[in-house]
Structure formats: C-alpha cells, structure tokens
Amino acid sequence: MYGKLGRLGWLLGMVAGLAVGTAHGTPAGSAGAPAEDNGAAPFYRWSGEVPAQSGKLLRSEVLEPKLRLENAAESIRLLYSSEGFNGRPVTVSGQAFLPRGTAPKGGWPVLAWSHGTVGIADVCAPSFRGNSARDITYLNKWLAAGYAIVATDYEGLGTPGTHAYLHCRSEANGNVDAVRAAQQLGWPLSKNWLVFGQSQGGQGALCTGAIATKRAPELNFLGTLATAPGLNFMDRFSVMNPADPNPFIVVTLLMARGFETFEPDFKSSNVFTDAAMALMPVANSECIETMINRGVAAKLTVGESFKLFPLSAAPGVAAAARQMEIPRDGWDRPVFIGQGMADEMVSYPATVDFGVDLCARGVTTSIKRYPGARHSGPIEQGFDDFRTWVDARFAGLPATDNCAEIRTWQAGK
C-alpha cells in the first residue's frame, strides 16, 4: 500500500504532492517587490490595527494580467481580517474571481477554494505567485459553470508571520473569512456557499466544513467537497526505517516549521540532523518545486535526516498532530470526497476510514472512488461528478450518502 519508501515515505510523498503543476511565476505590478517573511509585497502588509471582527475586507486590487483566470470577468487580490491559530486577529490574503455573464437572481453562487501546498515563504502565496497549471484548469471549469470563486492564501502566506502549515482551525478560519470579505466587494454574490479543496486544501476544506455554519451564521453554508485530503497524520509519524531514502526531506522541514509555529514544545533542531538542518533555509525561502528538487539532490536517508525514531516520539509532535486533524464532530452539512485508489500521496484506506467515522456520526457522506487514479486524478477525472453534487446543493436538493457502500470498502468486501 505504501510503496518502497515505507509508511514514512508515504507521508513525505503525500506532503510533497500537495501541490502539482507549475505556478505562473512571480508577478510584476502593484503588488511590489517580494520580501521573504515580512509580507510578499506592500499590499500584504497592513500598518493599522487588525480589526477584532473576522472577515472584514481591508483592501483589494485587480490582479496582474498573468494571474487572472481566463473564464473570470474580474480577478481580484484581497486582504482581510481573520482569526489566527492562536485565536488572535490576523490579516490574511487571497483571491476572488467573478464569472462572466449576468448574475442569476440572488447573485452568483460562491465556492471557497482551499489550495494545496505551495511552501511557507510569502512569495509562494497563490495570490502573488499564481495558481498551478492543474488548479487553473480546474478553477476555470467552475467559473465556466457559473460559480464565483474565493480563494484564501492561508494565514502567514503572503502576509507577515510564518504560515501555520496544516493547522486545521487556521485554514478553516481563513476559508470562512475570505467568503465574508468577498461579500464586501460590491459584486452580485449569493450568500449561499460551499467549500472545496485538494490535498492540503482537501484537509482545509474538511476542517472548514466542520465549523462553517457556526462561524458564519449570516451566510448559508451548503457542504464540503474534498479531493485527496490529508488525513490521520499521527499514524504516519509512527513507523520509520533508517535505511529508507528520504528525497522529500526539505518538505518534511516545511512541516516542521509549521509545527514550530503552533506548537512551542517542538524544536526542529532536536529532531533533525545537522545535514538535514542545513536544508532548512530552502524550506524557509523556496516554493514547493524547488524544495522537492533540492531534497532529491541531497540524497539523504531517513537515518541521515532524523535524530529521533520514530518521529512520533519527538516532544511536541503529538500535540501538533492533534491541531492538524480534521474534527469528527460538529458537522451539520453534507460531505463529498473524491479519492484516487492508486494515490501515492494520500492513503485510500485512510480516506475510507474517515468516511466510516463520519457516517457513524450521522454525517451525510459520499465518497467517489477513482480506480487507477493517482493524487491529481480526482480533480482531473471527476469534474462532472463534482459538478452534479455541487449543483444539487445549490438547487436545494436533499443530499444522499453511500455509507453502506463505504463500510463494505473498509471491510474489504
């Protein structure tokens, strides 16, 4: 199931695969010159007091031409207030895209996009650097179908401060508050909305679905669509083979930087060898494609990367993993998950187990399997399935589940 790298290799591969495709590149224009961790550009740096009220639109500007989506009538960069991983007010950046044509009665229906891993450097923020080629194709399909898209960068990406990578509540807050902020653009937007995301963003979308109604009761949340979502992190930290190759070491360091941001008991220097720590500047300053390439070039094994075995034994790891996990309770809207059965990054059995957990709690849950599909397979193959489900939610049709079938998959029948 986990391939030649073993369980740890599966986890590292999962993290490395959270972003696929080539970004458009660093834009030029009103965003200004990049800075490593003090905001990607002047637009992203808010000099005033951050409002205590989450979801307040602070400013907006038109995206540079090469960052706009082809099927969007308007493409906007946002800066808005949210609640950080520590419960304090923060600024978060993002994007908003309006479909072409005339808005339907009640306004354009809204989809909140939760993106995959891009890095932790501010210049990696999708609203600054651009979306991946894969995501551009996917988002354009939704725009053509008549959906407005609001896309958070997440806390600490683009804006000053370190990205709270994979922190469940931080991602969820960023998604919900982006939708709130977009309502203040003066666009004809409906208050009906749904969240969707891929990989890290699949995790972020599911984190959002568990809290969306309570966090923004003034909006009408309709459900969650997640593809290849990151799940069950602690399980993946428990088995390590020192002899295994570790080509994704720099991406593991990226995860460690997230741990250090929201879990004070975790210290990278206590976990990684000097050889691994020498690559930390790459994790701090580069985006995902360069990280992977540098890690492969380093040719480290797991034993040459870690001081402690397994990773789960390191102080702070268990506490950090708990803050990354998707809630099993609190759900009041339906869930649809698309999962490739040959996904080398996200475990298909883990997705099935998660579905069974939700079903047991009475959540209306559907999983669509894609035989032979790898990590990006669901969003490349499943758009028609996803659109049928999303259209039905906005049409007010009752959602159905396939919980009985999901349970048979878990049992191996």
Q: Is 95 inside a domain boundary?
A: yes
Cβ proximity of 314 and 191 under 8 Å: no
Using the 3D structure, point to which of 267, 293, 322 is the last residue of a domain. 322
Q: Is 49 inside a domain boundary?
A: yes
The domain total for the chain is 2
- Asked if 293 and 371 sit in the same domain, the reply is no
Q: Is 380 inside a domain boundary?
A: yes
Q: What is the pLDDT of residue 38?
A: 66
What are 279-331's pLDDT values in tens digits?
Answer: 999 999 999 999 999 999 999 999 999 998 888 889 999 999 999 999 999 99
DSSP string, 73-111: EEEEEEEEEEE-TTSSEEEEEEEEEEESSPPPTT-EEEE
Element (H, E) at 58: strand 57-62
C-alpha–C-alpha distance, residues 216 and 194, integer Å: 12
Residue 193 in tokens: 């909305």
Q: Is 123 inside a domain boundary?
A: yes
C-alpha–C-alpha distance, residues 297 and 49, integer Å: 44
pTM as predicted: 0.92
Q: What is the pLDDT of residue 31?
A: 40
Per-residue pLDDT of the chain (413 residues; tens, 9 = 90+): 333 334 444 454 444 444 444 444 443 333 433 334 567 799 999 999 999 999 999 999 999 999 999 999 999 999 999 999 999 999 999 999 999 999 999 999 999 999 999 999 999 999 999 999 999 999 999 999 999 999 999 999 999 999 999 999 999 999 999 999 999 999 999 999 999 999 999 999 999 999 999 999 999 999 999 999 999 887 777 777 889 999 989 988 999 999 999 999 999 999 999 999 999 999 999 999 999 999 999 999 999 999 988 888 899 999 999 999 999 999 999 999 999 999 988 899 999 999 999 999 999 999 999 999 999 999 999 999 999 999 999 999 999 999 999 999 999 85
Using the 3D structure, point to which of 322, 346, 367 is the last residue of a domain. 322
- Asked if 185 and 279 sit in the same domain, the reply is no
- Asked if 207 and 177 sit in the same domain, the reply is yes
C-alpha–C-alpha distance, residues 400 and 39, integer Å: 44
Q: Give the HSE-up count for residue 331: Cα atoms under 13 Å, Cβ half-sphere.
A: 24
From residue 197, alpha-carbon distances to 112, 201, 230, 250 in Å are 8, 4, 11, 24
Q: What is the pLDDT of residue 238?
A: 75
Residue 164 in tokens: 């709270």
Q: What is the pLDDT of residue 234?
A: 78
Q: Please give the residue range of the domain that contains residue 312.
A: 6-13+233-322
Q: What is the pLDDT of residue 141?
A: 98
Dihedral sign for Cα atoms in the order 153, 157, 162, 165: positive
Q: Is 1 inside a domain boundary?
A: no
- Asked if 145 and 244 sit in the same domain, the reply is no
Element (H, E) at 391: helix 383-394
- Asked if 248 and 313 sit in the same domain, the reply is yes
Q: Which amino acid is at 72?
A: A
- Asked if 219 and 267 sit in the same domain, the reply is no
Q: What is the pLDDT of residue 7?
A: 45
Nearest Cα residue to 306 out of 240, 262, 257, 258: 240
- Asked if 95 and 177 sit in the same domain, the reply is yes
